[in-house]
Chain A
Amino acid sequence: MALVRDPPVEPQRRRGKAVAMQGKIADFSIPDIFQLVSSQGKSGSLAISGNDRVTIFLFSGGRIVDVQPDRRGSKSLLGTMLRDAGYLTDSELKRYLSAQGTGGKKIGEILVEKGKVSKEIIARYLALQVKECLFDVLMLREGEYRFEGFAVRPVPWGGEPIRPDVLLMEGMQFLDEYPRYRGIFPVGDFRVIRKRGERVDPYAFSEEERILWKALDFSEDPERVYRKACLTGFEGIKGLASLLQRGLIEVSAAERGDGVDPARRLRDEIIYRRRFDAIRMALWGVAAVAAAVWAFRGLLSTGASRTFTAWVDFF
């Protein structure tokens, strides 16, 4: 049994770029890679691929300054997170994304420039994005990594660089405890609401619980509640478990159809309401025209005119 893992392969040139190191996750674990980059104060990008997805972490002086999740259906994209948290509407997100395509700017930069979302909120959600992406890659058992060294300058609208070792601590806790907390809740999708008539003292809550309690008013979907509270899934479910144990919330399994993307459901609902309202307006318009004709016949038709001309007969 090999207790000592193989060292990473030697740096080599590939496509004109200097590749610091690369290898397989099975050979060199992700926490080790992060610790190595952090302890050596490296700058560059760490691409981790697995499960057909590639996540790229950007380091500056050994600290994580940004992350680029895989764009294929990831919920950890910054725009999607802000939309789910209610800071953007679906249409606004589409508009800003199209602006991003023409200007080459990042979505966070555009939002700060437009004053749509404050710099502080962007920083909070960027940190959340880094956390979530790290937790995701920690769960990988197979895949590859590749680190490329180059100078990385932190973006001015981003937050403070994050120490990977701190995140790794939380990540390890997440790997250990998440299954236990998740087991408290129904299998599959579920819904969570505040229990009616319960009096609570928000000051008795922990910080996370308080934020989560407020966010419960936002949606019944736990994923959206986490987004609103700016918590990772692990932090969120931990907080919900605590509230559930105190008897402050009610949990129920999601009904069929609840699995639809909430944004899509909202979009469909808006389209339906608009169409319905347009049809209703058209029908009422026709009815109003009919009423106008009816009023004309009642007061200005030939028969009515004869009645209203009766006074002429006296002269």
Chain B
Amino acid sequence: MLMTRRVPNRSRRSWARYALFLLFLFPLVPSRMAAANLFPGYPEDVRMHAVRVVEAAGPGKGEALEREVRDLRRAMFDHAILSINAVPDRVFDRAAREGWKRRSYDSLRAVARVAPLSVPLWSWLAREDAMRFRLDEFLSDVGGLTGALRQYGPGLLGYAAWVVLFASASACWFAAWASLNLLLRARPALTSDVARLFKGLPRAEIIATAVVLAAFAAPVACGVGIAAAAVFWIALSTAYLRRGELLIGGTAILLLFVVFLCGGFLEAIHPLSGKVREGGWLGGEGYYNRAGSDYADAGQGLLVGQQWERMARFARARSEMQGGNLQVAESLWTRLIEEGGDTADAYNNRGIVRVRLGKTEEGVADFEAAASLSPAGGRAQWNAYQLYLQEFRLEKAARIQPLAWYGIRSLVPFDYRAEEMTHGELVASPLRVGEIWRTLFTVREEWLREARGSTFHDLFFRPVPGEWTPAFLAAGLVWVALWKLLSRKVWMNSSCRSCGTPTLIVGSREATDICNACRAQVGKGIRGGEERERRGLSILLHRRYVRACTVLFPGAGALWAGKDLRTLLFGILLSLSAGLFTVSWSAGRMAGGLIGDMQADIWKAALGVVAVLWLFGVAWGWRSFETLQLNHNVAGERL
């Protein structure tokens, strides 16, 4: 039977052609399709220009990108939009995706003109400048960062949250470091005293060691929070500490109270964080407010007060203005002006709205009123100057031109260039939030209330009930003071800092924390035989113990050497580094984009500092203790 050769329905070559076609097609299509989602809420023309900016960004595309940035700026001016914070995020995402993240500096610097309120952008630029040793640009970017923080509400709150979290993490590290160090410092004497309780039993030292070890390990085994355990350990070691060491313990407890309050502060401001990109009043500048700001959004009832309410109404008027609801916006600005207070910005913004509505004369009047109220504010001067030009009032325009040009150039962080702005761009006034800094950090009763159920409380103070936490911390401090006083009246053990010999003492610990043999510098003992051998062994074991403590808990050796205040300073430095690592490491892992990139570098640097400080603490403590022993003729002979 003759069989014909089987021919496939579709050749492999045709599949390859389709694949090649799709390969070329896909990169073109998604950018246009996804444009609608990249900048949600913004007017169509603004969104289109913003997408073009993102697409134009890249290494070696400076001129094209500059052109797109100028076009986007014009579109933003038309809608009184001052900043689109999503632009640098999108550019950075694209750079990371396409592998030119490390060469994205020029592109991101260029887009800073359309995202001047982006705090992460300015921070990222400042970090890059610092790494490239560009001092001028660095100072300029730090200025931009400061300006953005004053005018971008979420940035200010985020910065406040960062400061509070950094301080809390540092305080927790300090408490853990201090409490463990102090307990290990007090352990020999504490064990000797516990052994006294079991005097009648054989091998009382074994029982005492087990009891002290159990007291140390119990909070760890039970999963008690760091703060609660730290207070317990400090209280346990109080009676055996010097005054300087008590200062370390007391500082730790006070810092833990601050941590507790910080928990309340974070709880108070945290609901606002969700409003940033989704239309809350705090997102009024930097992100487009789709829903329009509502008075009820103002601080979720937590940040209340006349100042906050006025800011909420200002944000709402800005939102209506950007959304094109000019009539509503005009009435809102008018109401704000009628209320009084600092009305320069409201006059300026109402002037823009009125010009858009065709009420040029009224607009000019508003600009002049704003300029008279705040002559240093360059926006109103500039807007008036632009209108004079449009109305051919050249004499007036010429008169205020120097002021207008100078004023518009000095608006940090907005990089306005008068020579580009020849098409009647009017500059709106943003929501100013710099003044609320003090209000934000004023201690309030609700912080204490919120702190009782805060995340910090669950994390650090469990199992102490929230209502009892302040009392618990206060009791810790009182216990430290009382027990210290009581220990001056009760015979208790003291361990010689130099040789470790336990001695029963009563009275001031400072006067007796070096034993008589060490004071007399008799080395291993004035007599020979058993006593000499026992003393030698005691010195050997003590030295080994202190060295182990120094390696595990840097600075412990210096504590044994009596350098209390210097150890306190060292502990603070170490804790600050560890706190920075904690805050940055978490953000570096969890946040993406510019923030994640920056934080990844910061946590690496912080970890390096922690490692260096750790090594320094070990070496310093080791050497301090060696010197102490040498001074007391204890370390002369290797045992």
Contacts and interface: CB of A to CB of B under 8 A. Distances in A.
Contacts of A311: 158-159, 161-162, 165, 583, 587
B220 A298 contact: no
Contacts of B533: 89-90, 266, 270
A269 B159 CA distance: 61
Contacts, number: 149
Nearest to A291: B220
Interface in A197-223: 217-219
Contacts of A131: none
Interface stretch (B5-13, B205-213, B626-634): B205-213
A295 B225 CA distance: 9
Interface string A284-315: 11011011001100111001111111111111
Given A291-B180, A299-B226, A314-B276, A306 B590 contact: yes
Contacts of A305: 585-586, 589-590
B305 to A, nearest CB: 20
Interface in A230-281: 262, 266, 269-270, 273-274, 276-277, 280-281
B158 A298 contact: no
B616 interface: no
A299 B276 contact: no
A56 interface: no
A224 interface: yes
The prevalent SS among residues of B at the interface is helix
A228 interface: yes
B154 A315 contact: yes
Contacts of B541: 273-274, 277
Nearest to A292: B552
Contact of A276 (B206, B532, B583): B206
Contacts of B390: none
A305 B583 CA distance: 8
Contacts of A276: 205-206
B544 A224 contact: no
A277 B273 CA distance: 54
Given A85-B528, A217-B527, A285 B548 contact: yes
A274 B161 CA distance: 52
Q: Residue among A86, A266, A284 with the most chain B CB within 10 A?
A: A284
A86 B217 contact: no
Contacts of A273: 537, 541
A260 to B, nearest CB: 13
A305 B586 CA distance: 5
A141 B220 CA distance: 73
A298 B276 contact: no
B204 interface: no
A61 B151 CA distance: 112
A90 B165 CA distance: 60
A266 B537 CA distance: 11
Contacts of A269: 534
Q: Residue among A84, A276, A281, A308 with the most chain B CB within 10 A?
A: A308
Contact of B529 (A85, A287, A308, A314): A85
B553 to A, nearest CB: 8
A288 B272 CA distance: 40
Interface in B565-619: 582-583, 585-587, 589-591, 595
B256 interface: no
A172 interface: no
B586 A309 contact: yes
Contacts of A228: 529
A87 interface: yes
B72 interface: no
Nearest to B216: A287
Interface in A45-98: 84-87, 89-90
Given A283-B213, A298-B172, A310-B161, 15 more contacts: A262-B530, A269-B534, A277-B545, A288-B553, A299-B169, A299-B172, A300-B586, A305-B590, A307-B165, A309-B583, A310-B270, A311-B161, A311-B587, A314-B273, A315-B120
20 contacts: A218-B528, A269-B534, A270-B533, A281-B548, A284-B548, A288-B180, A288-B553, A295-B173, A298-B460, A299-B173, A300-B585, A305-B590, A308-B586, A309-B586, A309-B591, A311-B583, A313-B276, A314-B154, A314-B161, A315-B154
Which 10 residue pairs of A and B lie closest in terms of their CB atoms, listed nearest first? A86-B528, A314-B158, A86-B529, A313-B273, A305-B586, A311-B161, A311-B162, A309-B586, A312-B591, A298-B226
